Structure 1
Amino acid sequence: MRRVRAAAVGAVTVSLVLTAAACGGGSSSGGGGSNDSPKTLTYWASNQGATVEVDKKVLRPELDRFEKQTGIKVKLEVVPWSDLLNRILTATTSGQGPDVLNIGNTWSASLQATGALLPWDAKNFARIGGKDRFVDSALGSTGAQGQDPAAVPLYSMSYALYYNKKMFAAAGISKPPATWAELVADGKKLSKDGKWGLGAEGSNPSENIHHAFVFAKQHGADFFTADGKPDFTGDGVVSAVKQYVDLMAKDRIIAPGNAEYAQNQSVSDFAKGKNAMLLWQGASANLASQGMSQDAYGIAPVPVQSGTPGTGTNVNSMVAGINLAVFKNTDNLDGATKFVKFMTSDAEQKILNTAYSSIPPVRTAQSQAAFNTPANAVLKETLAASAAALPQVADESQFETAIGTAVKNLFADAAAGRPVTTASVKAELEKAQQQMPKK
């Protein structure tokens, strides 16, 4: 998810603080979709580009193409990640929202548990060409196991390491790091003269949880037990979170100011040459929109603990991506499913995933030449071989917010010069676990 992408930063207990008016659009008669006419749909798109305006420029021509083909007009709203989850949850409780919406794929099970989304059973999949059109890794993040998916894959992404070729050459570094020890060593060589080895977005809980998850998997740890209970304070999780925050606190290859960074700020710094490395999902289009040439950077897999094959677990990305969901009580189910079919068609998959530097989750689209570039090879190989799906549990969205905020607090400690210790990391994770719904 995004961007990746993957979780919102607002609180998930929206019924306490938000009202139905926050949704905008939707039906005033209690229905879930826009009921202006059967020829109208409301679509909430997530912010995938460098700005909301970039997304509008990408999407509007395609929505106009859909209207020309079907006669159905699409009212578009691009929703920033900081608002998206709260907006969706408000819509699920109020019954007022869009007909079709983007969701971070990691939220699928949580939103599925609300009962508000259309289940994609065999009949509904048949209306868009069949379930077997989609790759298995993308389908793995569409809802809880054993249940019909709550959404359809739209964009697939994985994390990669982006590195500035000129800065690497100037520092005498001949290849990108493959392990975290190498990344730290390279980062120290690169952190000088007002520039830093690596960028981060310490106040962006969605980015924080993605990295914490990957580090935890590399430490052989999970955030939930086999029966779905939160387990945030085990030794593996604590060590993983500490290792990530220590990139600022101990290793000093991330600028302290990054503790306050929000969405896309680390990408902007990388594009401007302020940081030599960036951990991101499909960043090429974002970097191009900020004037950085593809020749200026390289793309490599995210480092692991001890190299490949090495020892330990070599997961180096979460299965990132965006899913397309339909509100079950839409007044225009036929139009909504036609829209999903359109957006997941081979032609649209090529256009949209090219625009966002993502990988099509549709098999036939993914095999097109446009997605077989050297840069995409890293992303595709990661998705196929070394990415893991975040927990598909009903409390997943709460988990993302709680852990992402815990890491945010630890980055704030690091930036302020307060010690980040095993004990302090465990204490923050314990607070996060206490925020989870009691079973």
Structure 2
Amino acid sequence: MPVRTRRAAAALASAAAMALFTAACTGSGAGGASDDPKARTTLTFWHGWSAPGEVKAIEANVRSFEKKFPHIRVNIVKNITDDKLNQALRAGGSNAPDVVSSFTTDNVGRFCTTGALADLKPFLEKSKIDPATTFLPQMAKYTEHDGKRCAVPLLGDAYGLYYNKKAFAEAGITAPPKTLSEFDAVAKKLTKTKGDSYEQLGFMPNFQGYETTFEHYATQFGVQYFDADGKSNLARDPAAKALFTWQKNLAAQLGGFRKLEKFRTGLGDEWGPKHPFHTGQVAMQLDGEWRGKMAKDAGLPFEIGAAPLPVPDDQAGEYGKGYLSGTILGIANTSKKQNAAWELVKYLSTDTDAVVSFANAIHNVPSTVAALNSPKLNSDPLYRTFVKIAQHPKSAHAPSSVNGGAFLLTAQDLGVRHEAGREPDLDAGLRKADAQVDKDNEQAR
């Protein structure tokens, strides 16, 4: 999903919008599951895709649905931001959507607790669909909150490590690293300085680098964000401190925060052909399954490889895991056509051919077990690396929260301050982060 905005600024805007949404939402919709799903009707479906190929792919799936259910027509509205989606879910009305998709996986907790999206349990039970066995378990987990399922996954993203095979060969590196100590050594070996900058950087570890966020690193370390009572757990979790410590130490080995940050600000656009991994300025890149297709489309003059992101040395047995996220799909609680809406949600999210064709078209990871095992699924070796990462039992998304992704932004902000030297006492910073997260969560309830 290369056109998705994954940067922290966008996440912050989404969190702010959701805060307003929480305050205004009543948690009860004007609709209900009383409509006749066999009656002739028209549904409105809002989604966030905007790139021509992606829009074409989702529209093709919807038109296939209409052929299977000729009494249901679907009005498709593309390029919907979460801000607009949240406003519509709150307001309802004749122009509001019946079915919605969102790229902001972190907002599932908010969607479920506010009642913005309908509870899908009755629909799933009626259709005899068990989310735990139908969907990849790790993806089924991030589409519910506190036992309430208000969404289902519609394709997913898995994160791993891309590497420049030419740079590896020139440095005498024969295989991608599996542990962080190996990774640090490889990143340092691949780094070629040029004055006060770099001819080639082994890896950009900075928290403001492309995809190198706290959340994306955290799965490798096994960070436990909350304790059994739902309180923020960063200061008490050795994995969180180990993550921050490792990141800052690697930055120091590669030239230090200021030198890296100066280099980072001059790099090309994340979603354009001048991405620093494409240009050879960065030899290893943490990224999702879409990067392989983007690299191919950019016509790189070197071969690339993909592997899971390395893990801490004391977790070597869990190598192969990675961070997961993905699109979520749900029914607006204000919709008066929820039974018909469910037919569309069920088709898009569980029909094997529909899921596989969509995954192949936009180069994402399928979200159902049947689609993952389909012989029709893209067999490209780079892509398959991310399919395997998604299936690893320890691959995961951050836990859902009543406050959406605000707790992740707090951790991310701590990382930015710590690496820049503005938060020299990490233990104190972790305690402050816990206090902030707990305060934010309490206010959101």
Q: TM-score, normalised on structure 1?
A: 0.78
Match of 1:223, as an amino acid? Y
User: Match of 2:162?
Assistant: 162
Cα deviation digits, residues 325-382 of structure 1 (max 9, x gap): 1111124324422222331221221121113332212222111122555434433333
| 1:292 CA drift (Å) | 4.1
Counterparts of 1:107-146 in structure 2 under 5 Å?
A: 107-124=107-124, 126-127=126-127, 131=131, 132-146=133-147
Relative to structure 1, the CA distance from residue 327 to residue 314 in structure 2 (aligned partners, 3 Å threshold; closer, same or farther) is same
User: Match of 1:297?
Assistant: 304
**1:354 correspondence with 2:360:** yes
Segments of structure 2 that go 5 or more residues without pairing to the other structure are 24-28, 33-39
Cα deviation digits, residues 256-303 of structure 1 (max 9, x gap): 24765886479922122221111112132333343348x821111110
* Whole-angstrom distance in 2 between the partners of 1:233 and 1:78: 39
* Whole-angstrom distance in 1 between the partners of 2:280 and 2:157: 24
User: Match of 2:332?
Assistant: 327
User: Match of 2:281?
Assistant: 274
| 1:427 CA drift (Å) | 7.1
8 Å CA contact 2:235, 2:427 repeated in 1:
no
Cα deviation digits, residues 21-66 of structure 1 (max 9, x gap): xxxxxxxx9889xxxx932413123x5xxx7444324333334444
* Whole-angstrom distance in 2 between the partners of 1:390 and 1:328: 25
8 Å CA contact 2:308, 2:319 repeated in 1:
no
**1:198 correspondence with 2:198:** no
User: Match of 1:94?
Assistant: 91
Instruction: Name the SS for the 1:436 alignment partner.
Output: helix
Match of 1:248, as an amino acid? A
- The farther-off stretch of 368-377 and 183-192 is 368-377
* Whole-angstrom distance in 1 between the partners of 2:392 and 2:228: 24
Instruction: Name the SS for the 1:9 alignment partner.
Output: helix
User: Match of 2:412?
Assistant: 404
Aligned identity (percent) is: 21
Counterparts of 1:2-151 in structure 2 under 5 Å?
A: 8-10=11-13, 12-14=15-17, 38-45=41-48, 47=49, 52-69=51-68, 70=70, 72-79=73-80, 84=82, 86-95=83-92, 97-103=96-102, 104-124=104-124, 126-127=126-127, 131=131, 132-147=133-148, 149-151=149-151
Cα deviation digits, residues 133-157 of structure 1 (max 9, x gap): 323222111212433x111121133
**1:227 correspondence with 2:229:** yes
* Whole-angstrom distance in 2 between the partners of 1:245 and 1:90: 40
Segments of structure 1 that go 5 or more residues without pairing to the other structure are 21-28
Match of 1:422, as an amino acid? L
* Whole-angstrom distance in 2 between the partners of 1:170 and 1:205: 25
- The farther-off stretch of 135-144 and 58-67 is 58-67
* Whole-angstrom distance in 2 between the partners of 1:434 and 1:265: 38
Relative to structure 1, the CA distance from residue 107 to residue 161 in structure 2 (aligned partners, 3 Å threshold; closer, same or farther) is same
* Whole-angstrom distance in 2 between the partners of 1:53 and 1:290: 17
8 Å CA contact 2:154, 2:327 repeated in 1:
yes
Instruction: Name the SS for the 2:398 alignment partner.
Output: coil
* Whole-angstrom distance in 2 between the partners of 1:95 and 1:16: 18
Tell me the number of residue pairs that the alignment of Structure 1 and Structure 2 aligns. 408
User: Match of 1:23?
Assistant: none
| 1:109 CA drift (Å) | 2.5
Instruction: Name the SS for the 1:113 alignment partner.
Output: helix
Cα deviation digits, residues 198-224 of structure 1 (max 9, x gap): 24674479852422422541xxx4121
Match of 1:378, as an amino acid? T
Relative to structure 1, the CA distance from residue 358 to residue 230 in structure 2 (aligned partners, 3 Å threshold; closer, same or farther) is same
8 Å CA contact 2:143, 2:328 repeated in 1:
yes
Cα deviation digits, residues 77-111 of structure 1 (max 9, x gap): 224xxx53x44444444346532222333432232
Instruction: Name the SS for the 1:39 alignment partner.
Output: strand
Relative to structure 1, the CA distance from residue 263 to residue 336 in structure 2 (aligned partners, 3 Å threshold; closer, same or farther) is farther
- The farther-off stretch of 337-346 and 55-64 is 55-64
* Whole-angstrom distance in 2 between the partners of 1:435 and 1:212: 24
Relative to structure 1, the CA distance from residue 211 to residue 277 in structure 2 (aligned partners, 3 Å threshold; closer, same or farther) is same
* Whole-angstrom distance in 2 between the partners of 1:143 and 1:118: 12
Q: TM-score, normalised on structure 2?
A: 0.77
Instruction: Name the SS for the 2:189 alignment partner.
Output: helix
